[in-house]
Structure 1
Amino acid sequence: MEALLSQFTFLSDQALQDKNFDPSTIEDLMKLFEIEAYKSWAAMELEQENEVKEAQVAMRDAENYLDSVMEEAMDEFRQFEEEMERMAKEELESLEKSAETERKMGKLMEKAATIASKRYIEAALNSATASMKSAWKGLSSNKVHPS
């Protein structure tokens, strides 16, 4: 473009100094300016298209990366959720097992207490019966031998 401007300046000076100057020479130069402008415009448009394509590729790469990171995060969340469910299930099973053990222990203690109370009642009845028999004997023996 600088060469064309230089040539235009030269031809302009020549047109001012030379009365026989052919104006078609400047017209030819103007056509070259027009061609150069179209080339420049086409090059800029091509560069812009390339930049758009590069931006689209960069955007696609960013979206793919984001999808990958999101999928990874979701996988980690699912694993965490599964681990928490597994731990909660184990805790529940442990509590149920403890409760069942305590229930069985309670039943055994109830049976033991029932047996102990029955034996206590039997012993108390036997003792009372023995006391009554003894007292009855004492009363009976006092009637036979008046004092």
Structure 2
Amino acid sequence: MEALLSQFTFLSDQALQDKNFDPSTIEDLMKLFEIESYKAWAAAELEQEKEFEEAEVEMQQAEEYLDSVMESAMDEFRLFEQEFDMMSKAEMESLVETGESARKMGKLMEKAASIASKRYIEAAMNSATASMKSAWKGVKGLSPPKVHPSSSS
């Protein structure tokens, strides 16, 4: 392009100084300018297309990487979720076992208390019966005072 500009400057100077200058030489030069412009435009367009394709490839690679990272994160989340579910289930089973043990212990304590209260009632009844028998024997063993006929006067 610099060579064409130099040629144009030379021809412009020549056109100003030479009255017999043929203007068609400048037209030929202008056609060369036009051809060179088209070549530069085509080269720029090719470069732009090449950059666009490279950008598309890089974008695709970035999307694939993002998909990979997201899938990895989801795999980790699923693993965490499974572990958390297992821990929760184990904790629940432990609580259920503890509750069941407490229920069984409560039933045993209820039975023990029931048996103890029955034995207490039996012991109290036996004690009361023994006291009543003893009192009855004491009452039977007492005889009414004897009245002497001579003392009635």
1:29 matches 2:33:
no
Which residue number corresponds to residue 71 of structure 2? 71
Gap regions ≥5 residues in structure 1 = none
SS of residue matched to 2:29: helix
SS of residue matched to 2:22: coil
Bigger Rg over Cα: 2
CA distance in 2, matches of 1:51, 1:31: 30
Which residue number corresponds to residue 39 of structure 1? 39
Q: Once superposed, what is the RMSD of the aligned Cα atoms? A: 1.8
| Deviations 1:51-99 (CA, angstroms, capped at 9, x unpaired) | 2112212222222222222222222222222222222211111111000
SS of residue matched to 2:41: helix
Query: AA paired with 1:15?
Result: A
More divergent stretch after superposition (36-45 vs 62-71):
62-71
CA distance in 2, matches of 1:77, 1:124: 68
1:129 matches 2:138:
no
* TM alignment of 1:49-128, pairs within 5 A: 49-128=49-128
Query: AA paired with 2:68?
Result: S
CA distance in 2, matches of 1:125, 1:15: 149
CA distance in 2, matches of 1:89, 1:29: 88
SS of residue matched to 1:21: coil
CA distance in 2, matches of 1:44, 1:85: 60
Which residue number corresponds to residue 149 of structure 2? none
CA distance in 1, matches of 2:104, 2:115: 16
Q: Which 4+ stretches in 1 moved above 4 angstroms?
A: none
SS of residue matched to 2:142: helix
CA distance in 2, matches of 1:32, 1:115: 122
Taking only the aligned residue pairs, the percentage that are identical comes to 76
CA distance in 2, matches of 1:6, 1:30: 13
1:15 matches 2:15:
yes
CA distance in 2, matches of 1:37, 1:146: 159
More divergent stretch after superposition (18-27 vs 68-77):
18-27
